[in-house]
Chain A
Amino acid sequence: MKKVFIYSSFERFWHWTQAVLIVFLMLSGFEVHGTYILWGFEESVQLHRYLAWGLVILWAFAIFWHITTGNWRQYIPTTQKLVEVMVYYTKGIFHHLPHPYKLTKLRKHNPLQRLAYLFFKLIISPTTWVSGLLYMYFAEWTTWGLDGYLSLFWVAGAHTAAAFLMMAFFCGHVYMAFVCSPITAHLRAMITGYEEVEEGE
């Protein structure tokens, strides 16, 4: 085994900040949705708004980082080894077979991750952003001439749908973070930047 530097400090900062923001956005968002009472409706609305802006700012930096460093290429979908990875997670992992995909700093996500993160970045995030900002500026719709084209029913509906997808992603993602050996390896990598990979090739 050797240590490979996979996640730069910005990536780790981005990841964990986003994680905290999204957790609190989900907590406050589902209170606004009426699922439960936690901090109180007004407090949750307020918190949700501030956190949303935090996420917008963070993503502005993240998009800039992805473009300038070329890291956006990490999410280009590929079928190469896709089947092998799927077979690994449904079979090989139970018998401690080696992971069929070798990480490097230039291709840090396996084909399955690429698809999942691409879905996150192209479907969940934009839906959340667009519907969320429209939702936030509902009072301005008349001024902006949007009244005839939008209804809060659809905007809120899209936002809620995206929130459910986000939560499903979150649950799967958190579990997958521990699908490795030792089980804290991914977590450690996301904190320190170094992933242990098997030598060879």
Chain B
Amino acid sequence: MIFSPLYDQMLSLKDTWMRGFLFWIFLVWMATGTAFGAVDSVGGLDFLGKLGNTSSTDHRKLAPLQGPFKNGPQVTKACLTCHTESAKHVMATEHWTWKFRNKATGQNLGKLSVLNSFCGSPQSNWSVCSDCHVGYGWKPNGFPIDARDYDFANEGNVDCLVCHDTTGEYHKTPEDGGQVFDLAEVAMNVGRTSRKTCGGCHFFGGGGDGVKHGDLDSSLFSPNRSLDVHMHTGGLNFNCTTCHTTDGHNVTGSRYMPKAKDQRGIDVPGWTDTTRTSCESCHGLTPHPKRPRINDHTSRVACQTCHIPFLARGGKKTKVWWDWSTATRLNSEGKPFSEKDADGYETYTSQKGTFRWAANVEPEYFWFNGLTQYTLPGDPMANERPLKVNNILGSYEDTGSRIWPFKVMRGKQAYDPVQNKLLVVHTAGDDDSALWKHFDWGKAIKAGMASIKDSSYSGKYDFVETKMYWPAAHMVAPVAEALTCTSCHSQNGRLANLTGFYMPGRDRFPLMDTMGWILVALVSMGSLSHAALRIYFDAREKRLR
């Protein structure tokens, strides 16, 4: 019994030793207690969603709104009798101009200019794409017109109702004024914008429910807490504009130039810009009071990265692959056809090609400083494949960058292999060249290219694999569903591909680890050998005696 003398000794220890021992216990208990006691809860904010919805005007009592109205523009005229400046305001916003100048990159963006990896471009496809423009008058004589011929200066063309309808009845139909609902009833029930009005367009971008963004789809009309902790209908019940604050009809927040890193923190009226289109606007720069180590991440990791654990979480799928190259196949009868997956999502249509859909998609993560460089029609294509239709900028070295979650849309789209540029395709229309009607790529591209400024086209087309980045900022999960440390701080975690910097738990020093363990092993083996020798010599000595 080697240790028995020690044990006896310990039992008879004096007070100092006992006191010391109790102190260690206390120390360890304190440390672990604080470490393990960390919890998160945000309570007492339930009143928030109920504020700010009281109007001082009952629009039912206003004479100009009693109607009857023959068409939308007549309603607009009535609105403008009181809201004298509203049309001017709207006409200054991107919702109207479809133009966005990115001052940092010098690129002219907006729907009038860009290409995407979904439907391609609204250019030459105004008959369909103009449905989401906040204006009337796209078919002045019953026929669709080109944006170049659209009257962007006409106040009467501003569509007030598409954003301010509260009845859910209003639709901006393709034929102006061809409504099947009572415009006066809609006009007398105008109110603040809602998830319904904003979502009417933004949840259906890319040609259908949830197609484009991955973090925006019809499930957000009435989300539960798990889907969106802020918009939860039984809880905070946030509107889109609760965060996307507006001034003079200008809605803040933009995916052309998002604020990748808000360094202002909580936005106090009179002191800051009073926009709330960043998490930090309300939550501040150190939003984890009980878990300070997580606050240390906020300068390099966007809130969205941990708090949007998956895309398309609301039960709707989002489109992740769109291969245009397979479009225009016809069945044995020479007719277009479509195929669907088990959940009813189209996997092939003769008009659009092959699709892949996914729900609960793990986002992909990249450094992002808010700047995006587009490959615009006419721009020479970069050599990299898949071609980046939009290239997000940022890096670990750039302290203005943070790690952001993205939906990466992939697919194949038409390009000019001779002139090395992406092509604008005329897809929608009732004419003799639209792809969706005649299934003839040659004609459709010729018509598409003829509609844009830089219309040169070699006459040859092929398909190139492309990808496009969509930063995620919606469908914010409750804390319990957010990512945990080891989602990233582990080998093969979510940030496995984001290399070029050291990350604890993920990265090792293989050589040093090996050498370190060898050193520890040598010391231990040396000790054990020494002990063995002692025992051996002791035994020999006893035997000799």
Contact = CB atoms under 8 A, between A and B. Distances in A.
B5 interface: yes
Contacts of B530: 89, 175, 179
Nearest to B293: A45
Contacts of A192: 9, 13-14, 17
Interface residue range, chain A: 35 or more
Contacts of B295: 139
Contacts of A187: 6
A186 B245 CA distance: 71
Given A43-B35, A192-B13, A168 B485 contact: no
A183 B505 contact: no
Contact of B35 (A13, A46, A157): A46
B296 interface: yes
A17 interface: yes
Interface residue range, chain B: 35 or more
A93 B534 contact: yes
A188 B505 contact: no
Contacts of A164: 512, 515-517, 519-520
Contacts of A47: 31-32, 35
Interface stretch (B22-30, B327-335, B357-365, B409-417): B22-30
A126 to B, nearest CB: 18
Nearest to B30: A50
Given A20-B28, A151-B502, A192-B13, A41 B512 contact: no
A45 B485 contact: yes
A112 B21 CA distance: 29
A171 B520 CA distance: 7
A156 B502 contact: yes
B24 A17 contact: yes
User: For the complex, would chain A's binding face be called helix, strand, loop or mixed by DSSP majority?
Assistant: helix
A87 interface: no
B92 interface: no
Contact of A50 (B16, B34, B509, B523): B34
Given A152-B502, A157-B509, A184-B3, A17 B23 contact: yes
Contacts of A21: 27
A16 interface: yes
Nearest to A178: B531
B356 interface: no
Contacts of B291: 42
Contacts, number: 153
A95 B30 contact: no
Contacts of A163: 516
A149 to B, nearest CB: 14
Most chain B CB within a 10 A radius of its CB, from A16, A24, A47, A184: A184
A41 B35 contact: no
B271 interface: no
Given A50-B35, A94-B533, A142-B299, A41 B17 contact: no
B31 to A, nearest CB: 4
Contacts of A34: 489-491, 504-506, 508
Interface in B258-305: 291, 293, 295-297, 299-300
A167 B524 CA distance: 10
Nearest to A17: B24
B181 interface: no
Given A46-B34, A93-B534, A41 B505 contact: yes
B16 A43 contact: no
B537 interface: yes
A52 B317 CA distance: 47
Given A33-B504, A152-B502, A191 B296 contact: no
A17 B17 CA distance: 11
A153 interface: yes
A32 B506 CA distance: 9
A153 B2 contact: no
Contacts of B491: 34
B27 A20 contact: yes
B541 interface: yes
Interface in B27-61: 27-28, 30-32, 34-36, 38
Contacts of B490: 34, 41
A41 B36 contact: no
B486 A9 contact: no
Interface in A119-177: 138-139, 142, 147, 151-153, 156-157, 160-161, 163-165, 167-168, 171-172, 175-176
Given A139-B297, A156-B502, A157-B502, 8 more contacts: A12-B16, A17-B24, A51-B31, A152-B501, A168-B519, A172-B523, A182-B5, A192-B14
What 9 A-B pairs have minimum CB-CB distances, sorted nearest first? A164-B516, A175-B527, A46-B35, A139-B296, A50-B31, A94-B537, A153-B502, A184-B6, A41-B485
Interface of A: 9, 12-13, 16-17, 20-21, 24, 32-34, 40-43, 45-47, 49-51, 54, 89, 93-96, 138-139, 142, 147, 151-153, 156-157, 160-161, 163-165, 167-168, 171-172, 175-176, 178-179, 182-184, 187-188, 191-192
